Amino acid sequence: MKNKLIKIIKIPRIEDDCYLCFAENNKHIPFKIKRIFYIGLPVLGLSRGKHAHRKNKQVLFCIQGKVRMVLDNGKDREEVILDRPETGLFLDKMVWHEMCDMDEKTILLVLASDFYDEKDYIRNYKKFLQVTNRK
Ligand code: T46
């Protein structure tokens, strides 16, 4: 069955005496990057995220370790494991997402289409369902 929510973006991986991955605006990344952030040293066993963005779009790369991403649009729920630096996950606006099963090595690099704005977050699942007209 075709995934509705999971959109994988493969970026170039150059191999010489190490690996080198790169991504360019509007070529590999389907928006102009306004912000980057990264997440590491997770408390094991806890999941993060649990929110959706009203406008912000993101591409997530697990550049070390692994993460299980759970995506939800209020109707469909899909999961994918990210564990390769050349494999990004496009996270559209209005997709509820959770980052689970991160290990002690996990580093998540995130490219975002917008500057940080707490008002862009929907952090309550019931509210998310209301906004998406699912409830
Ligand atoms: C997302 C997932 C994949 C800032 O002040 N500036 C920032 O640019 C970011 C990203 C966060 N913050 C603050 C806001 C909170 O006080 O850092 C704190 C932790 O943020 P949050 O609880 O949203 O972290 P995660 O790991 O649950 O989610 C993060 C991103 O915030 C979010 O946009 O989609 O990673």
Segment 82-119, tens digit of pLDDT: 999 999 999 999 999 999 999 999 999 999 999 999 99
Protein residue closest via CA to atom 27 of ligand 1: 49
In this prediction, residue 131 carries a pLDDT of 95
For 97, the 3-state DSSP assignment is strand
Ligand 1 center–CA 10 separation, angstroms:
24
> Which residues are known to be catalytic?
51
- Which residue of 43, 48, 57, 96 sits with most ligand 1 atoms within 8 Å of its CB, as the best mutation to test the pocket? 48
Ligand 1 center–CA 16 separation, angstroms:
34
Contacts for 40-46 with beta carbons within 8 Å, 24 or more apart? 40/64, 40/106, 40/107, 40/108, 41/104, 42/102, 42/103, 42/104, 42/106, 44/102, 44/103, 44/104
pLDDT band at 133; cut points 50, 70, 90: confident
Residues 12-43 pLDDT 10s: 999 999 999 999 998 999 999 999 999 999 89
Residues 43-76 pLDDT 10s: 999 999 999 999 999 999 999 999 999 999 999 9
In this prediction, residue 28 carries a pLDDT of 97
Q: Give Cα separations from 109 to 4, 36, 59 (angstroms).
A: 23, 7, 8
pLDDT band at 134; cut points 50, 70, 90: confident
